[in-house]
Amino acid sequence: MNEAHLHLLLNHTPILGSLFGLLLLAAGLFKVNQTLTQTGLVTLLVAALLCLPTQLTGEGAEEVVERIPGITHQLIHAHEEAAELGFWAIELTGVVALLGLLVKSRARTFTLLALLGAVLSFGLLARAGNLGGQIRHSEIR
């Protein structure tokens, strides 16, 4: 197994984690359910943590695929730039989610900020995933 394979195994985790965290958090806030809200915050925190190995395997994946005929530097660069933006968005969202879990006096504020961060993170990470898919899947270009 090389880093490209590992990157492909990991790359869906932050995208789906941010989506699930977003949905759980929204449901918890809508239903005024503390358990759902906290589960959403924990899910966003876990998604942020799991984004780290995904990001760290990106360089190695690039080294593997850049030698394949038909793979352009432009496609890799677009994915890399989008992934970095999504990475920082989910990391910031994870920090806000952690604050929502720890700072009880401001839990509502941090929870709402985490919800906004989850929307942004999911959008940015989904875009990065789509651009990454275009590197090897010409049918989605």
By residue count, the chain amounts to 141
pLDDT at position 93, please?
Answer: 98
Structure tokens at 60: 């190695």
Per-residue model confidence as pLDDT tens digits over 45-100: 999 999 999 999 999 999 988 888 888 999 999 999 999 999 999 999 999 999 99
Stated pTM of the model = 0.92
- Can you tell me the distance from the alpha carbon of 105 to that of 102, in angstroms, rounded to the nearest whole number? 9
Q: Determine the distance from the C-alpha atom of residue 19 to the mean position of all C-alpha atoms in its chain, rounded to a whole number.
A: 9
